[in-house]
Structure 1
Amino acid sequence: MWQIAIILIMYVPLVIVTGHYLFRVAMQQVTWLDPIMDRLDGFIYKLCGIKRVDMTGKQYVLSLILSNACMVFIGYILLRIQAILFLNPNKIDNMEASLSFNTIISFMTNTNLQHYSGESGLSYLSQMLVIIFMMFTSAATGYAACMAFCRRIVAKTDTIGNFFVDFVRIITRILIPLSIVVSVILVSQGTPQTFKANQTVQTIEGKLQDIALGPVASLESIKHIGTNGGGFYGANSTTPFENPTVISNMIEMLSMMLLPGACVVAFSLMIASRKEKPIVGKQGLAIFVAMAMLFLAGLVIVYISERAGNPIINELGITQQLGSMEGKEMRFGVAQSALFATVTTAFTTGSVNNMHDTLTPLGGLVPMFNMMLNVVFGGKGVGLMNMMMYVLLTIFIACLMIGRTPQFLGKKIEEKEMKLIALCILIHPAIILLFSALAVALPQGVAGITNPGAHGLSQVLYEFASASANNGSGFEGLSDNSVFWNVTTGLAMFFGRYVTIIIQLAIASLLAKKMWHHDSIGTLKTDNTMFTILLVVIVLMIGALTFLPAIALGPITEHLQLYA
């Protein structure tokens, strides 16, 4: 447990400092990188013809979608012709059409769900120009949308900013500097960073083995900083080349946790900017604590479940002093594996240092439920936006119960906003459950299920929860590289990403245009302990109402069968 405690203690000061820096970037205030990055930004603006003028809400959303669409088109072409391009020393062939569609949607939506093995499916050029490039741009897109949402919801005037300015500043002032630092640390721990071809070596058993090399450290850094997920290798962060040591494991977890938490801190400073700025604003602290409560509850369940191990093995008289080590690396053990599994799904990154398919039923339930809720910090900025939907819903429900007018930050929450909030909250479970039902109803979907009974259903639920939450991790037991699974998960990733962002920015725009009212004695307090507890209860209640029947047929049934 001390390993877990050390990482969580280190996280708190890091997220506060980063949150203050993110606030300055989002509000276009002076930062210490400005003397260098202002020149780079100016060159990019001039090269792309970007005019630094404030956009309307529609212009912001349209710019976001069109820029992403252009990158999708170019990336798809590169994957389809990678065999004839340079930086392909391992002679990797072109990617198949449906797999290219899935891959390009996956990385542009910041999901990074992989139906291929990176070391054998992509050339070095594709890894850099498609995968690593989109890890930067998709993360920047999410954080730009989040910052625009935050500015819009706290502003007294109808202002949103400029998408391209936000997009460029996030890359040059946040993602690139942090990725350089993390890359250097990973290289120091033994992660490869080279253009050399794969090396064939002789093992101590006298057999030959291919060692896959490539620009791994640069991918790993932005993969975690941008909450992207995926991996250079098919085995992801379980392999010693992506995640060599306990130190690299801790760095990767802190990288995943850093920016999603910092978004909450930055939001709290935006609210408190009219007054004297605290270290963390009370409103942001209430939301942060609610997310932390959900995260810690899930972490405890995973750790206890994995530490208890398999009851069937215990009945056979086999001592399990290490807990359930199936699918885990000995260098990490149960503690760091449980923490990594919880972090990567709570912060919707998708990187894995153990195979989630081999987790105990309750240990696998928590990562799945984290993605189903999609509000436990979340990733790439949209986690905060998702939680804000529940914040507004909680305010509305609480005010109805006590007979007060629903109001947040001086803006009244009325019928039009509530319809959009309800729609935004229901889209995520609808995508997961409808596509899961389709998968178990059609022979093309059933063909990919490799485990019988409850665990097979868990594989399906996990796959679509991962796709819709833009997470990208998988149970890894699913035969998902088929036209059916490539297309359905591609659509789930697309709708789970862009439809919700559009609705959330529309809600923020509606609130921004409303008349601002001073708080009164009758205004519901949203920055105290009572509201935090109520928010957690509402999140869990809606999660249970929408997903409990499906979960009961999957991991809960498997757990009961295991202990029967």
Structure 2
Amino acid sequence: MDLFLTIVVLVAALAVCWRFLGPYMAGVFEGRITFLAWAERPVYRLLRTSPEQEQTWQRYAGALVVFSGLSILFTYLVLRIQGSLPLNPEHLGAVSPALAWNTAVSFVTNTNWQNYAGERTLSYLSQMTLVVQQFLSPAVGIAVALALVRGLARRESKTVGNFWVDVTRAVLYVLLPIAFLAGIVFVAQGAVQTLAGPAHVRDGLTGFTQVIPRGPVAFMEAIKQLGTNGGGFYAANGAMPYENPTGLTNLLSIVLMLAIPVALTATFGDMVGSRRQGLALLAAMAVLFGAWTGFTTWAEHQPNPAVAAAGLPHQPTGNMEGKEARFGDTQSALYGVASTQTSTGSADAAYDSFNPIGGFGLLSGMMLGEVSPGGVGTGLYTILLFAILAVFIAGLMVGRTPEYLGKKIQAREIQLAGIGILVMPIVVLVLSAIAVSVHAGRVAPLNGGPHGFSEILYAFTSQANNNGSAFGGLSSNTAFYNVLGGVAMLLGRFAIMVPVLALGGVLAEKATVPAGPGTFRTDTPLFVGLVIGSILLIGALTFFPAVSLGPIVEQLSHGRFFG
């Protein structure tokens, strides 16, 4: 499909999601849409809770931590004993302790970083256990975003909702129905969906028998993209025809990645009583996403500098190294930006083979934080942190106490927002420094020089952003990277979520202040520009020295090879 037509279809589809899915979610989480109440009630009875039993932010955070901890433990146990469990037609053995730890943390934190080839490592039961987490982890992200939104919307309230109710409704009303419909499309287009074992195909000429892995792929693909999970059944992920068979499924994948993060801005607008507030956040997301898409597609439409330096002819269509011929360089770049600027991390091309400056586009997009538009739930609450920071800066400039949606933004709110914003860069830079300082970290990259450093930096940027994509040249299935990566994913998830919940609780307790002549409006282009400027400034000041040593110097080397 032509890139221009793809963008037109994509924008139209996302506009529909914003207009209809966003208000629908607001109705669900405000308790106005209850057609699945019959399915909710048994869950609440089991958990001994109800929508009327709301929680303080402390109890909400406690439920989040307990639920996520038990999910990690359960997933880890399934992986460790998979050889003794059913639905294992290839009789695969237990996953090693370090890899099981990394994988369990990865899927529970919505990262879906994969240090393994799924078709050669995991049984069908293990894959389906991970699919369960692919529903629950985005539901948790939505729940945390809702708690912060309620904090902004409510007045003098001690509670921010009920964690168990929010997660239940996110799964039942949003994720399950959309993923089911999308899964049918994947099946219809040719994605594999079966519990039969692998197919054995014998070549009549050579007598060689090829083993073709199969499994419950299509519906895993649907929630992989919708929940901004990214973890696929096959090692090749979205480049594998059994997962992503056609141009239509490729476009559907991009729409699914962006649908809920975009629609949640409309949900936010409805819940705070002003659709223009949601539009302002959406505009900031759209400007950043559009800029990075344009830059990265341009970069991948350029010749590969290593090919040019070797004096070899290059394709006039751009850098096709590591690309699927079905999709081409520009479609792959669009998919890559959508995947990395959400927390999806899926891939329909080899990101390690992008041009250095194209790889910089993917890497730097993650370094902005989850804001353009970010993951399911995580994108909304992260850009709200930047919005609160922007309001504070504006208040300093006009010489009055800053306000956001009628709530005064004071020292405590800025401290919590600052913690939430700075956790990711601190984790990325500290763990990358550790990795390049010890032997176990330095031996993993398959490339020397700046590209090898980029592979390490990309890995921790991806994991701390709960993204999960990778420069495939890093041999990260080692005890060192499995353990350290698990730490990065945990901190990148919960060290941000807990301050966000605390911020929601603090804001909920505040009374609203009527707007006055000096109130800085937060639904104008000026505010959108201030939010974008805050995001870019923090990202540049934090990460420019690191990317200068990686993709920037690699681009300036004009294809020179490093040992």
C-alpha separation between the residues in 2 aligned to 1:508 and 1:203? 62
Amino acid at match of 2:137: S
Aligned partner of residue 200 in structure 2, secondary structure:
strand
C-alpha separation between the residues in 1 aligned to 2:302 and 2:107? 36
- Match for 1:4 among 4, 7, 20? 7
CA change 1:530–1:563 in 2 (3 A) is farther
TM-score by length of 2: 0.96
CA change 1:317–1:488 in 2 (3 A) is closer
User: Which runs of 5 or more residues in structure 1 are unaligned?
Assistant: 274-280
Q: Does the CA-based 8 Å contact 1:75-1:104 persist in structure 2?
A: yes
Amino acid at match of 1:390: F
Compute the displacement of 1:319 (Å). Answer: 4.4
C-alpha separation between the residues in 2 aligned to 1:393 and 1:115? 36
- Which moves more between the two structures, 142-151 or 236-245? 142-151
CA change 1:55–1:440 in 2 (3 A) is same
C-alpha separation between the residues in 1 aligned to 2:32 and 2:368? 34
What residue in structure 2 maps to residue 102 of structure 1? 102
Counterparts of 1:127-276 in structure 2 under 5 Å?
Answer: 127-128=127-128, 130-158=129-157, 159-202=159-202, 206=206, 207-272=208-273
C-alpha separation between the residues in 1 aligned to 2:257 and 2:125? 25
- Match for 2:397 among 386, 398, 401? 401
C-alpha separation between the residues in 1 aligned to 2:109 and 2:147? 18
Q: Does the CA-based 8 Å contact 1:347-1:378 persist in structure 2?
A: yes
C-alpha separation between the residues in 2 aligned to 1:446 and 1:147? 41
Amino acid at match of 1:285: L
- Match for 1:418 among 402, 414, 417? 414
Q: Does the CA-based 8 Å contact 2:151-2:506 persist in structure 1?
A: no
C-alpha separation between the residues in 2 aligned to 1:65 and 1:261? 26
C-alpha separation between the residues in 1 aligned to 2:278 and 2:18? 13
CA change 1:50–1:233 in 2 (3 A) is same
CA change 1:555–1:147 in 2 (3 A) is same
C-alpha separation between the residues in 2 aligned to 1:29 and 1:203? 59
Amino acid at match of 1:143: I
Compute the displacement of 1:153 (Å). Answer: 1.6
Q: Does the CA-based 8 Å contact 1:113-1:473 persist in structure 2?
A: yes
Q: Does the CA-based 8 Å contact 1:301-1:362 persist in structure 2?
A: no
What residue in structure 2 maps to residue 355 of structure 1? 350
CA change 1:89–1:354 in 2 (3 A) is same
What residue in structure 2 maps to residue 467 of structure 1? 463
Does 2:32 align with 1:29? yes
Aligned partner of residue 352 in structure 2, secondary structure:
helix
Q: Does the CA-based 8 Å contact 1:82-1:94 persist in structure 2?
A: yes
Tell me the percent identity: 39
C-alpha separation between the residues in 2 aligned to 1:203 and 1:514? 72
Compute the displacement of 1:169 (Å). Answer: 0.8
Compute the displacement of 1:173 (Å). Answer: 0.6
CA change 1:533–1:82 in 2 (3 A) is same
- Which moves more between the two structures, 485-494 or 138-147? 138-147
Aligned partner of residue 308 in structure 1, secondary structure:
coil
What residue in structure 1 maps to residue 363 of structure 2? 368
Compute the displacement of 1:10 (Å). Answer: 2.6
C-alpha separation between the residues in 1 aligned to 2:285 and 2:127? 34
Q: Does the CA-based 8 Å contact 1:118-1:234 persist in structure 2?
A: yes
Q: Does the CA-based 8 Å contact 2:144-2:500 persist in structure 1?
A: no
Amino acid at match of 1:444: A
C-alpha separation between the residues in 1 aligned to 2:461 and 2:125? 30
- Which moves more between the two structures, 348-357 or 195-204? 195-204
Q: Does the CA-based 8 Å contact 2:160-2:508 persist in structure 1?
A: no
Aligned partner of residue 232 in structure 2, secondary structure:
coil
C-alpha separation between the residues in 2 aligned to 1:298 and 1:563? 23
Note the aligned Cα RMSD (angstroms): 1.4
Residues paired across the two proteins, number: 552
TM-score by length of 1: 0.95
Amino acid at match of 2:346: S
Amino acid at match of 2:383: M
What residue in structure 2 maps to residue 277 of structure 1? none
Runs of 4+ in 1 over 6 A off after TM superposition: none
C-alpha separation between the residues in 2 aligned to 1:242 and 1:223? 11
Compute the displacement of 1:51 (Å). Answer: 3.6
CA change 1:203–1:391 in 2 (3 A) is farther
Aligned partner of residue 440 in structure 2, secondary structure:
helix
Does 2:326 align with 1:331? yes
Counterparts of 1:65-104 in structure 2 under 5 Å?
Answer: 65-104=65-104
- Which moves more between the two structures, 50-59 or 473-482? 50-59
Q: Does the CA-based 8 Å contact 1:362-1:555 persist in structure 2?
A: yes
What residue in structure 1 maps to residue 494 of structure 2? 498
Compute the displacement of 1:311 (Å). Answer: 3.8
Amino acid at match of 1:229: G
